[in-house]
């Protein structure tokens, strides 16, 4: 059997990178001989995370348009041209039989160049409001794998395959054994209820400010405990803020190594509404309050969250209301076991554990 070669392109945030790695892992399970090359954006986190997962990656000098007036925007045309030239060289040398785009800056020049050479392209769209890059590339794609229903308003209906979003392999429906392991791992009290505050791999200023308020207003005296993931951008300032404070019911870290155990011990989760996180929470079956980021294209996190809220599968607090009302909403839900059970039941119905496998099968079918 001929060895297959494929490129997976995209990144910028964990929401793009972890699904891409999940797809690669699923392809490797089906075809262990597959030669997989990643193409990302120079200086972005994929340049670190992808090699850590055991895959090669090449960076393109591409960057996004700055929303505010910035000198960086004047360099953008040169970066785009440079990225297209480098993408063409990569394709010529690597000779992929299929190219996969997961969104993010780097996927545009790579998939554009691949499609121009007649290489079949597969797009994976994570959000309920399709990103600009994927909308542009849709005409050139053979197949578009989506996570939400109703995506015909963005893409040609005959190209859409509803697969769900790939998630990390360790994420599954929470078990009692996981909960016990999680309490020990994080040094928590099994008799107390637990809240998990997660702002994404880079961190979330709104959630961090809300947690500082929680600390300042007597968080250490609460009858529940909190895991607070502050993000690497906020680690130094958060460490300085917490220095000298005795808060035994708080575990604060910049990055969660065992996200499965954090999900397991949490009675309530407070999170941004990135597509990857939502997909994991659906499979884990967790009661969640979403605080969508307003700083994303087309306000897609609000669209993501509302797709669940409208089905009684989650709650939502607006970013500009978080410091005022999030703690109260969180404590109200924590004190209502029936509401928690209802949210858990409804969100579980939306989980798609096999998304990575389904996408991998579709990618391989384009070669065959």
Same domain for 198 and 116: no
Same domain for 160 and 304: no
Q: Higher confidence at residue 259 or residue 297?
A: 259
Q: Higher confidence at residue 170 or residue 340?
A: 340
- Give the tens place of pLDDT for each residue, 79-121: 678 888 999 999 999 999 999 999 877 889 999 999 999 999 9
Q: What is the pTM of this model?
A: 0.84
Comparing CA positions, the residue from 284, 357, 356 lying closest to residue 314 is 284
Same domain for 336 and 360: no
Same domain for 119 and 184: no
Same domain for 153 and 15: yes
Same domain for 247 and 153: no
For position 73, what pLDDT does the model report? 47
Same domain for 198 and 89: no
User: Which structural domain, as residue segments, surrounds residue 359?
Assistant: 5-167+353-367
Same domain for 212 and 87: no
Same domain for 229 and 147: no
- The CATH number given to whatever domain includes residue 205 is 3.40.50.2000
Same domain for 155 and 34: yes
Task: Count how many domains the chain has.
Answer: 2
Same domain for 278 and 239: yes
């Amino acid at each position: 059997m001929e060895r297959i070669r494929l490129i997976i392109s995209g990144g910028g945030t964990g929401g793009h990178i972890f699904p891409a790695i999940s797809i690669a892992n699923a392809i490797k399970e089906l075809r262990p001989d597959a030669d997989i090359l990643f193409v990302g954006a120079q200086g972005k986190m994929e340049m670190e995370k992808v090699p850590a997962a055991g895959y090669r990656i090449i960076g393109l000098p591409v960057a996004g348009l700055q929303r505010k007036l910035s000198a960086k925007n004047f360099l953008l045309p040169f970066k785009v041209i440079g990225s297209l030239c480098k993408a063409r060289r990569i394709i010529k040398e690597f000779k992929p039989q299929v190219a996969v785009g997961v969104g993010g800056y780097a996927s545009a020049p790579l998939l554009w160049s691949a499609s121009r050479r007649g290489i079949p392209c597969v797009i994976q769209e994570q959000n309920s409001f399709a990103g600009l890059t994927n909308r542009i590339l849709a005409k050139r794609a053979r197949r578009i794998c989506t996570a939400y229903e109703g995506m015909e308003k963005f893409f040609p209906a005959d190209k859409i395959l509803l697969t769900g979003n790939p998630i990390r392999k360790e994420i599954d429906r929470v078990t009692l054994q996981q909960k016990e392991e999680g309490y020990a791992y994080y040094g928590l009290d099994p008799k107390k209820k637990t809240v998990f505050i997660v702002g994404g791999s880079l961190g979330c200023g709104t959630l961090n400010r809300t947690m500082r308020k929680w600390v300042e207003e007597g968080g250490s005296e609460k009858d529940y405990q909190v895991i607070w993931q502050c993000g690497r951008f906020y680690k130094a300032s958060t460490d300085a803020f917490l220095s000298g404070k005795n808060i035994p019911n708080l575990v604060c870290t910049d990055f969660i190594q065992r996200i499965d155990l954090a999900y397991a011990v949490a009675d309530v989760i407070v999170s941004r509404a990135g597509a990857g996180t939502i997909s994991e929470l659906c499979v884990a079956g967790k009661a969640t309050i979403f605080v969508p980021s307003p700083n994303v294209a087309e306000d897609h996190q609000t669209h993501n969250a509302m797709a669940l809220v409208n089905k009684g599968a989650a709650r939502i607090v607006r970013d500009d209301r978080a410091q005022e009302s999030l703690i109260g909403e969180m404590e109200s839900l924590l004190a209502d076991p029936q509401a928690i059970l209802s949210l858990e039941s409804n969100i579980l119905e939306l989980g798609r554990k096999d998304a990575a496998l389904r996408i991998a099968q579709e990618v391989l079918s384009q070669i065959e």
